[in-house]
């Protein structure tokens, strides 16, 4: 027997619901929508980005913000301030690229934010450096011109 046409999508829905429940939260439509949007993102998204993309589905600013906060506190989502006083959120993923903190690049001209592979920045602890550097418990944000603006 063949699979039903929507089975891949419902499997994905079940995966999101399982992740949410796995961290002790109730699985709600707004939480699933936020996770689904972050899953499809290639770079961290701001609250405003998520409001723009999810607003037409009936989710208001406050609902999205509360769910971002809940998902971040539960450890499913990572929040970062890249120096412009705007919180950006991304899904905590298994694997090297999003296994915790990783470097980000922000274009100083157009403002585009990109995730960089962990190995693109080497952190070594020099004499006198804070212990956090040796423990790799630091955030790295690079700024410069992106390829399009250069």
pLDDT tens digits along 55-102:
999 999 999 999 999 999 998 998 887 777 889 898 886 544 444 567
- Residue 1 has a pLDDT of 43
The dihedral of CA 109, 115, 119, 122: what is its sign? positive
**All domains of the chain in start order, with CATH:** 8-92 (1.10.10.10), 94-150 (3.30.1490)
The dihedral of CA 138, 117, 49, 52: what is its sign? negative
Q: Which two tokens stand for residue 71?
A: 């998902």
- Residue 95 has a pLDDT of 47
Cα distance between residue 70 and residue 68, in whole Å: 6
Instruction: Compute the radius of gyration of the chain from its Cα atoms.
Output: 18
Phi, psi for 126 (deg, rounded to 5): -95, 165
Between 25-34, 103-112, 135-144, the lowest mean confidence (pLDDT) is in 135-144
- Residue 99 has a pLDDT of 45
């Amino acid at each position: 027997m063949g699979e039903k046409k929507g089975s891949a999508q419902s499997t994905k829905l079940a995966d999101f619901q399982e992740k949410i429940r796995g961290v002790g939260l109730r699985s709600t439509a707004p939480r699933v929508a936020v996770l689904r949007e972050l899953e499809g993102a290639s770079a961290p998204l701001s609250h405003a980005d998520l409001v723009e993309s999810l607003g037409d589905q009936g989710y208001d600013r406050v609902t999205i913000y509360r769910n971002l906060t809940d998902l971040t506190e539960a450890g499913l989502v990572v929040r970062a301030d890249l120096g412009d006083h705007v919180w950006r959120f991304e899904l905590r993923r298994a694997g090297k690229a999003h296994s915790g903190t990783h470097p980000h690049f922000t274009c100083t001209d157009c403002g585009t934010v990109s995730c960089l592979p962990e190995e693109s920045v080497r952190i070594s602890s020099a004499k006198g450096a804070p212990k956090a550097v040796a423990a790799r418990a630091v955030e790295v944000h690079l700024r410069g011109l992106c390829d399009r603006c250069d």
